[in-house]
Structure 1
Amino acid sequence: MKIIVDENMPYAYELFSRTGKVLSVPGRELSKIELKDTIGLMVRSITNVNAKLLDNTSIKFVGTATSGTEHIDYHVLKKKGISFSSAPGCNSIAVVEYIFSVLFFLAERDGFDLRNRIVGIIGAGNIGNCLNKRLKVLGVETLICDPPRKNRGDKEIFYSLDELVAKADILTFHTPLFIDGLYKSWHLVDINLLNSLKKNTILINTCRGSVVDNKALLQILTMRKDISVILDVWEEEPNISLELLNKIDIATPHIAGYTLEGKTRGTIQIFESWCNFIDKPQQIILENLLPKPEFSTITLHGNIDQYKLKRLIHLIYDVRRDDTLLRKLTAIDHIDFDLLRAQYQERREWSSLQVICDNTETVTILNKLGFNATLQ
């Protein structure tokens, strides 16, 4: 039984080899020739799974080790009778910790207390909900915009996007990409919205590049210097705009969800679905696959405050590392976007670090935030 897996899926070869012959391939360059005699196809977001790829193949199962599925043509899969599995929520923690790294960097650079800022969260799915909960632990006021959830009657207070633009100091986007329809999100951030932003607004996009009109954003940034912009996702990936990159505050190559834990969760989720599909169920425990982290234990004394939390967060992951790597390549007018992702330095989640504390309140706060904190 032949199975193809994206070469950037950690532990995919080891796991799927238990059930058949595995071939690891670059996801963006996948060809029909490689699909010959293949039963299972395991991809990430850079592989468009459509009729062009699947016609005249023997594929019976497609899995994507991602929470987003915009690269998958469901209609084609259904028409061909191909089973499908995704990995919803696998990278939620990773993306949220990326955003915290960004916010604490900006808070220190610009000299503000995060509790004095209102955060508008557009899209309250797995990632948006996780972010909302962690911000509330710190006492940060949040506003939620999620029209699909509001329309189905979910019992939360929802605001319109216009209300968020008018009230929030920070806007962070976590929506699927819908090209049209009632919940269209393509170019949701357009020239009109950008013109309406409050002074000193922070704009963060970690969902899909086309949610933000990159050309309109570039136009606005040539006129307004007060807006802080963080982009992890871009239009036209991997051929991103160097001009735009050089005008924003933090630029990274679509790696917000790239913790080792997050990527491995994605692999495990579709592997277990694949095993159910072939009627050989297996259950994989995440911790049994992962290596020991570079830093495993630290002692923290006294109450936790913004300064201490910022240092703790950046000990595990400082977003400026990835921003610097991306910008270095602009010096030679060339960005190998996919290479940066393929050779991404191992990054761990907060839970990988045991924090030993001598303050009960600090332990409570850190554990609610997702750290592994214990009382000394």
Structure 2
Amino acid sequence: MLIVADENIPLLDAFFEDIGQIRRVSGRDMTADDVRNADILLVRSVTRVDEALLEGSGVKFVGTATIGTDHVDREYLASREVTFCCAPGCNANSVVEYVLSVLSLWAERTDQTHWTGRSVGIVGAGNVGGALWRTLVKLGFDIKVCDPFRESEETDSNLFVDLEEALACDVVSIHTPLTHDGEHPTFQMIDATRLAGMNAGQLLINSSRGEIIDETALRERLQQPDAPTVALDVWENEPDISPETLALTWLATPHVAGYSLEGKVQGTEMIYQALCRFLGLPARKRSGQFLPEPALAKIAFTSSAQASEASSTAIRACYDPRRDDARLRNMMATVSAERGREFDRLRRDYPVRREFSSVKIQLKGTSRSLQDVFKGLGFKLKL
């Protein structure tokens, strides 16, 4: 059995070597010739899976180790009776921690003593947005959620607001899939009109899909007075992102919000389990078997620690997005040709990043409120 897989899927051998022969290829450059003799196809979000890729192949199972599925023509797979699976929620916690890190940096930038004192509009409350919602509520943020699909399913519709009300919050964090049709399409949902309604006191974060924001309108708005602060992890036309947009963006990262080791390995585990079910095999392997000891294992705070400063210190010790920002800007400044390949290289060679749960926080004589903050963030506690 031949398994063709994106070379950036972690732990391919550990999970799949007992199932079949593995052929690694570049996900961005994958062609029909690469998969022609494949039985199983494993991808990430950079590979467009459609008739052009699969026509003439013997692929019977497609798995994407990602939350998103807009890169897969699911109707075509169904018409060919190809089994499909994705990894919903695999890296949701990683994206939540990315947003928390951005919020921490923005609070410092705007001289906020209590970083939870601002309102946050969450646009899209699926796996990622829902996880962010739950975390921010625990931390005491004022939350407004816009998700017309979730709203129609919930018994208490008062939990939700319309998009304009969400966009009026101090912070707006986008977590919707990319859709072009239907009742609520998200393609260029944040357009010139909606960007004009935002101001310099607001922060706009996009870690879902680049095309949800009209980048041309965004560039124009960011060159105007009273423009909002913007943090982008996703971009139009990836991997060939706009240097002009990058230059105008406060915080810029190369589509790595969900790139914690835990998130990536969980995505691999989820498609492994689905493949085992498809083949009728026992799923004996778990991601916990393969996670190494974290480089940072423990942080200690004493009774003199202040909640806001201590939480920011711990968050950034685990993940400081300014490092990814620097890598991306340095690449764009020094590479004139093949920037797209270099963008992908930043993702391929991404350093190991562990989630908050891998770190134990030792608290000596600290207040109950500080303990609650670290619990809300997802750290392990040692009292």
Q: Same fold (TM over 0.5)?
A: yes
Alignment partner, residue 190 of structure 2: 189
Amino acid at match of 1:312: A
How far has the Cα of 1:258 moved from its partner? Answer: 0.3
* Partner Cα separation in structure 2 for residue 333 and residue 180 of structure 1: 37
| Structure 2 residue 254 is matched with structure 1 residue 259 | no
* TM-score, L = length of structure 2: 0.95
| Structure 2 residue 46 is matched with structure 1 residue 46 | yes
Q: Please give the per-residue CA displacement for 1:343-366, whole angstroms capped at 9, x wherever unaligned.
A: 111111001111122336233432
* Partner Cα separation in structure 1 for residue 111 and residue 35 of structure 2: 54
| Structure 2 residue 150 is matched with structure 1 residue 149 | yes
- RMSD after superposition: 1.4
Amino acid at match of 2:170: D
User: Residue 240 of structure 1: SS of its match in structure 2?
Assistant: coil
How far has the Cα of 1:226 moved from its partner? Answer: 4.0
* Partner Cα separation in structure 1 for residue 334 and residue 264 of structure 2: 30
Alignment partner, residue 131 of structure 2: 130
User: Residue 163 of structure 1: SS of its match in structure 2?
Assistant: helix
Counterpart pick for 1:348 among 343, 350, 354: 354
Indicate conservation of the 8 Å contact 1:5/1:13, yes or no: no
Indicate conservation of the 8 Å contact 1:205/1:230, yes or no: yes
Q: Which structure 2 segments of 5+ residues have no match? A: none
Alignment partner, residue 242 of structure 2: 241
| Structure 2 residue 371 is matched with structure 1 residue 363 | yes
How far has the Cα of 1:304 moved from its partner? Answer: 5.2
Indicate conservation of the 8 Å contact 1:68/1:88, yes or no: yes
How far has the Cα of 1:225 moved from its partner? Answer: 4.9
User: Residue 71 of structure 1: SS of its match in structure 2?
Assistant: coil
Q: Please give the per-residue CA displacement for 1:6-44, whole angstroms capped at 9, x wherever unaligned.
A: 111110122111111111111011112221321110000
Q: Superposed, which structure 2 residues align to 1:263-282 within 5 Å?
A: 263-282=264-283
Amino acid at match of 2:286: I
Alignment partner, residue 313 of structure 2: 311
Q: Which structure 1 segments of 5+ residues have no match? A: none
* TM-score, L = length of structure 1: 0.96
Q: Which runs of 4+ in 1 moved over 4 A?
A: none
Indicate conservation of the 8 Å contact 1:165/1:198, yes or no: no
How far has the Cα of 1:152 moved from its partner? Answer: 2.8
Indicate conservation of the 8 Å contact 2:261/2:353, yes or no: yes
Identity %: 38
How far has the Cα of 1:5 moved from its partner? Answer: 1.4
* Partner Cα separation in structure 2 for residue 61 and residue 109 of structure 1: 48
Amino acid at match of 1:186: F
Deviates more, 1:263-272 or 1:330-339: 330-339
Alignment partner, residue 289 of structure 2: 288
* Partner Cα separation in structure 2 for residue 272 and residue 286 of structure 1: 11
User: Residue 34 of structure 2: SS of its match in structure 1?
Assistant: coil
Structure 1 293/317 Cα, relative in aligned 2: closer, same or farther at 3 Å?
same
| Structure 2 residue 329 is matched with structure 1 residue 327 | yes
Q: Superposed, which structure 2 residues align to 1:136-175 within 5 Å?
A: 136-156=137-157, 157-166=159-168, 168-175=169-176
How far has the Cα of 1:149 moved from its partner? Answer: 1.2
How far has the Cα of 1:231 moved from its partner? Answer: 0.5
